[in-house]
A and B are shown apart, each in its own frame.
Chain A
Amino acid sequence: MDMNAIEIEGISKSYGSVQALRDISLQVRCGEIFGLIGPDGAGKTTLFRIMTTLMLPDAGRGRVSGLDIVEDFALIRRTIGYMPGRFSLYQDLTVRENLEYFATLFGTTVRDNYENIKEIYSQIEPFGDRRAGKLSGGMKQKLALCCALVHRPSVLFLDEPTTGVDAVSRKDFWNMLARIKASGVTIFVSTPYMDEAALCDRLALIRDGVIIGAGTPREIVSGFPFRLLSVKGDRMYRLLKVLRDTDGVISCFSFGDSHHLTYDPAKTDREKILGILTEAGFGGCIVKEIEPGIEDCFMWLSKR
């Protein structure tokens, strides 16, 4: 059966004169990891608050697990797990106390659901008597995830769980998500990190309250309308400036150890660009035709 875990249609929300969300529609299928990807201030948290029934939309409708986000708010709250962006546990309760507290709130016990959280909880269990406020960032994140999972939610909402988290811990976290997904939970997760997009089954790119692209990572990448070159060489910043001034170059941005460049094939090509660079004193550059990534797509879609 093809039921959607989340369906929202035409959601808008303003704060005074600031429009935080404009006409947002999306569907999340049961059992998938759906990513909401965009920078700070794009409206991600507002959308989370509306979907988790903590805020009413100005317009639009939505359902989570088949329940209406306005009419059935009390039922939705029992069936979802929510990990807000800010660490939201009680800092002066211990690890164990926090977990027991959240289990009790949902009318259950840690013991009844131990299997559900065991894999993550076992990593912080040795620190069960430590106050939550004294945990390291990685451990806080694991505890928050356990608290959001302790009542066996069918949909898990994670608002920027990896913001400010180092690259290694981010990888660990996504491995945990893959295992939670395998247990049948639908995951709706937001992130400002474009490199996490590839780990989602499907995703929506959001900017200034508008969804600028949606689909599987592959679908989004295949919609990129340009050929893309990667350029590597010495004196990268100078190289960037020269490339931007080159005839036929549409855009050029740095991407780690190389520059990504889109061009108009009617005006230039790889060989011409290589020639211009050699002439300008940038000998030995490596220019390669490459596939775009989500970040390339996001930058292009932002400009449209």
Chain B
Amino acid sequence: MGRNTVEIAHLTKKFGDFTAVDNISFNVRDGEIFGFLGANGAGKTTAMRILCGLSRPTSGEGTVAGYDINTGQEKIKRHIGYMCQKFSLYPDLTVRENIRLFGGIYGLRDKEIRRKTDVMLDMLGMQTERDRLAGALPLGWKQKLAFSIAMIHDPGIIFLDEPTGGVDPETRRTFWEMIYDAAEKGTTVFVTTHYMDEAEYCDRVSVMVDGRIAALDTPDSLKAEYGAENMDEVFRIIVGRRPGL
């Protein structure tokens, strides 16, 4: 109740004299779907890498899933889920082998992996596909499988980096229904997307511009604040203000 899965204060990341992330602070509440938006090059990926324990901040502090972003990176990695559209499954391993590999990486015992494999395949209706190569699956199934595998260790929060880029309209929507189901079961969802209709599906949305968080609120409040019809307009107003290219 009312707890935060992510708490970030004054996070800054510099590369040489370039400041990629510039003193950002925000919280993500337990069980919410948090949309992390921004223009290309605004610093989203850099910030997300820090939240996932893959990079250390230059300064600032915070916790993800209860672990410190400066000192608890290995623990963070074990307690979060991560998926992106570009790479999530090994195409030349079978469905079962993929599940087993990721289960092993997250330190699950063999018995546990066997049990989870069965539950997962039943839930996805993929028992008959279990010995097929993951690369040969239709995109929609790949997406669902990748999402389930990213959750195999029951993380409190899952990071989704442009999970629906280039995906057909129906698969994109089915995927969001999986996100909703996960959130209803209490998983916190942190998601980036370039589809502004998907921004509407988030509980709250932040918009990054030039390394800073330029706006953060519910889609409805943002639309009201900027007098915009939809999130596409909100995004264009906020991001369009940036100077130069």
Contacts and interface: CB of A to CB of B under 8 A. Distances in A.
Contacts, number: 91
B139 A256 contact: no
B33 to A, nearest CB: 10
B200 A40 contact: no
Interface string A40-62: 11100000000000000000000
Contacts of B38: 166
B1 interface: no
B194 A138 contact: no
Contacts of A192: 165-168
B123 interface: no
Interface residues of B, number: 34
A253 B170 contact: yes
B236 interface: yes
Given A138-B41, A166-B38, A256 B231 contact: yes
B235 A39 contact: no
**B contact face: mostly helix, strand, loop, or mixed:** helix
Interface residues of A, number: 36
A225 B144 CA distance: 31
B245 A167 contact: no
Given A256-B197, A256-B230, A168 B39 contact: yes
A250 to B, nearest CB: 14
Contact of A165 (B40, B184, B201): B40
B243 interface: no
Contact of A39 (B39, B41, B162, B171): B171
A194 interface: yes
Interface in B116-145: 139
Given A137-B40, A256-B231, A298 B169 contact: yes
A284 to B, nearest CB: 14
Interface in B194-233: 194-198, 200-201, 219, 230-232
B239 A39 contact: no
Nearest to A136: B41
B176 interface: yes
Contact of B139 (A39, A123, A165, A240): A39
A139 B244 CA distance: 11
B139 A254 contact: no
A115 interface: no
A207 interface: yes
B201 A254 contact: yes
Contact of A136 (B176, B197, B245): B245
Given A257-B197, A257-B200, A299-B170, 20 more contacts: A40-B139, A41-B139, A137-B40, A138-B41, A138-B245, A163-B166, A164-B194, A167-B232, A169-B40, A192-B167, A192-B168, A193-B195, A240-B177, A254-B176, A255-B197, A256-B198, A256-B200, A257-B230, A299-B169, A302-B169
> Which 3 A-B pairs have CB atoms at the shortest separation, nearest pair first?
A39-B168, A256-B197, A40-B166
21 contacts: A39-B167, A39-B171, A136-B40, A138-B40, A160-B166, A164-B40, A166-B235, A166-B239, A168-B235, A171-B236, A192-B166, A192-B168, A237-B177, A253-B173, A254-B173, A254-B176, A254-B197, A256-B200, A295-B169, A299-B170, A302-B169
Interface of A: 38-42, 123, 136-139, 160, 163-171, 192-194, 207, 236-237, 240, 253-257, 295, 298-299, 302
